[in-house]
Amino acid sequence: MAFKFTDKYLKSFISDSDLKSVGGEVDSAVKTLEQRTGRGSDFLGWVDLPVDYDKAEFSRIKAAAQKIRKSCDVFVVIGIGGSYLGARAAIEFVLGQNHNALKGDSPEIYFVGNDISSSHLRDVLEICDGKDVCVNVISKSGTTTEPAIAFRIFRDLLVKKYGDGAKDRIFATTDKARGALRSQADALGYETFVIPDDVGGRYSVLTAVGLLPIAVAGIDIDEMMAGAAAARTELSGGDVLSNPCYRYAAIRNILYRRGKRVEILVANDPALTLTCEWWKQLFGESEGKEGKGLYPSSAVYSTDLHSMGQFIQQGERVMFETYIDVNVSDGFTIPYDEENSDGLNFLAGKEINFVNQKAFEGTVMAHTDGDVPNCVVDLSSRSPRDFGYLVYFFEKAVAVSGYMLGINPFDQPGVEAYKKNMFALLDKPGYAEEKKKLEARISEIG
């Protein structure tokens, strides 16, 4: 397996006896998860998903992906939060950030409906001009404002372009029975895929939410599920010392109790930028509640060593790092230069990845010296299998960690607050009283 979690750089901060001291709490969090007795236990569908999924739907996803690949130049994926981050993370993890330019026989893939930016929507509409387009609209609730706005716009584009044929180019991923998107899809005859009731948005990448866009990108979704299934087997059983997932959950809680407030997920390859964003949602929404939780942040090295590196080395000592070391040796070497005017010949013939590895080692040592503890995930490839493994590792870790923290890792009540205010300010029916109060407060501020 190309995935390995290690806390060998953490020894000056956390010993095995520190870990053993929270072993009982870890065991009890795991038991709560496995026996489904904890808060949020209605949302544990992700636990067995890698092996217990709807095989008929899985085949339909593959067939739809083939159809989409054959019938469009541009595939527009509409969704926000858990209905967007996982798919984009997987595609960039495996294919890199330049996948649209290097697409081979895949359509270009764009993600919209994940913000309220008119220029973002306009740009993607312009990209679609003169091209064949298919759309996947994804919303578990079927009522989220951002994707609903984007879908109106792209549905209009398809209807103008293809008339009745538009419905064959629209794929809806939503609840099996509820929500405006479900009603629309049923009424207009779109092919639909289901987000299971017991899988929350941020845990849904291995459902149709992630799998359809990922398959359209030409990525092997069987392999991705196999990676998650391997993690499910390998990361069950054992204890805080022997199970890396439990060890990671314990380390996070120990560091939090010692005053660390920020966890930075670092990756040394920009292909993992969106994996970090996906992780931020998973950990932020799962743990950030009841006035508790580590603030999940992210960085891409060495890029961010030239910006945030100063703060991490010498600023407020509130953070630790979980460093995903992407160590993929691909034979790409630094050329020799006869004149050596840049003084770089000491690196000639060395792999670029070798330099990245030395940067990794140097950074971990420097940050450790600067009182920033580091745990590490070694990743020696960026295959679909690795992505599936990584997803399951983090999903299970945050569930155990969240139960150790004493919160419900599967709800997100705080997300509603901004929506309520926005709806009131936008005159949504039913919000008149709220609107009056809010506008009074806003005008008081001036």
Question: Which phi and psi (to 5°) does residue 196 adopt?
Answer: -60, 145
In the complex, least distance from residue 297 CB atom to ligand PA5, rounded to whole angstroms:
18
How many Cβ atoms are within 10 Å of 217's Cβ, its own excluded? 26
Q: Does the annotation mark 306 as catalytic?
A: yes
Residue from 86, 201, 284, 402 that binds ligand PA5 (CB under 6 A)? 201
Sheet-wide strand order for 133-139: 108-112, 74-78, 133-139, 170-174, 191-194
- Minimum CB separation of residue 90 from ligand PA5 in Å reads 16
What sign has the CA pseudo-torsion 160, 164, 165, 169? positive
- Name the packing angle between helices 208-216 and 85-95 (round to 10°): 30
**107 is a site residue for ligand PA5 (CB under 6 A):** no
CB of 8 vs ligand PA5, minimal distance in Å: 33
If phi > 0 it is left, if psi is from -120 to 50 it is alpha, else beta; for residue 444 that is alpha
Q: Which stretch binds ligand PA5 (CB under 6 A): 17-25, 77-85, 101-109, 399-407?
A: 77-85
Q: Is 20 one of the catalytic residues?
A: no
Whole-angstrom distance, CA of residue 426 vs CA of residue 202: 27
Of 146, 285, 287, 395, catalytic: 285
By CB under 6 A, tell whether 247 contacts ligand PA5.
no
Total residue length of the chain:
446
Does residue 14 belong to the site contacting ligand PA5 (CB under 6 A)? Answer: no
83 binds ligand PA5 (CB under 6 A): yes
What is d(CA 446, CA 429) in angstroms, rounded to the nearest whole number?
26
Contact residue for ligand PA5 among 38, 40, 45, 82 (CB under 6 A): 82
* Site membership for ligand PA5, residue 45 (CB under 6 A): no
Residue 243 tokens read as: 């199970």
| 172 near ligand PA5, judged by CB under 6 A | no
First-to-final CA distance of the chain? 58
Q: Hunting for tokens 């709560």 — which residue is that?
A: 32
> Would you count residue 285 as binding ligand PA5 (CB under 6 A)?
yes
367 is catalytic: no
144 belongs to the binding site for ligand PA5 (CB under 6 A)? yes
State how far the Cα of 302 lies from the Cα of 341, in Å rounded to an integer.
Answer: 24
From the list 70, 292, 350, 419, the catalytic residue is 419
* 139 in contact with ligand PA5 (CB under 6 A): yes
Distance CA 290, CA 238 (A): 30
**Near ligand PA5 by CB under 6 A: residue from 40, 86, 107, 147:** 147
Minimum distance from residue 369 beta carbon to ligand PA5 (Å)? 37
**Residue numbers at the binding site for ligand PA5 (CB under 6 A):** 80-83, 139-141, 144, 147, 200-202, 285, 412
Q: Which residues have a catalytic role annotated?
A: 285, 306, 419
